[in-house]
Amino acid sequence: MSRDPHQQARELIACGQQDLSDSEQTWLRTHLDGCAACRDYAETAGQVVRSLRSVPVAADLGLVRTTQMRVRLHANQLRQKQERMWLVIMSCVIVGLSAAISTPFLWRGFEWLGEWARVSSPVWQVGFMVFWISPALAVSLIFLARGVHLADTNGTSRG
């Protein structure tokens, strides 16, 4: 089903001449040459745009100061968010490196302790896993007990 050419012309006029491709501009010019109603619509739309552009817009000093304050506040919040993310990234890198370095030594220690206590391999391996994951579980429980959430007091999310 083809679209109404007059509706298509009005949509292209509403887009503005600068935003149209060459083929769309050519089609619109051809259509406007042959259609008086669309030509009148284009002229009226152009007059409205020119009228709106000729009206000076001035903001009062209070609006300007409020806007500047909000922009500065938002910039400060973005900077703080970026600083927090930097700390989180560095913490993750440090934890990852320390885990990668210490895990083989801890594994050997549990292996030696299992042989010394004469327990089966699955028992000391489960003990290793519990010991290895217990710090993360402890911190999670502390955060839950304190009510730490991923939201600030003003309702925006931390990131």
For the entire predicted model, the pTM comes to 0.41
Closest CA to 9 of 91, 150, 21, 25: 25
Which residue shows structure tokens 């769309």?
Answer: 24
Coil, strand or helix: which one is 119? coil
For 38-46, what is the mean pLDDT?
91
The model's confidence at residue 1, banded by pLDDT at 50, 70 and 90, is very low
148 — pLDDT class (breaks 50, 70, 90): low
* pLDDT at res. 123: 92
Q: What is the pLDDT of residues 86-134, one digit of tens each?
A: 988 999 899 899 989 999 999 999 999 999 999 999 999 999 999 989 9
71 or 2, greater pLDDT: 71
**Among the ranges given (54-63, 103-112, 141-150), the one the predictor scored with the smallest mean pLDDT:** 141-150
pLDDT confidence of residue 64:
92
* Domain limits, the chain: 5-54, 84-146
Query: What is the distance between the alpha carbons of residues 80 and 116, in angstroms, rounded to a whole number?
Result: 52
Does residue 157 surpass a pLDDT of 60? no
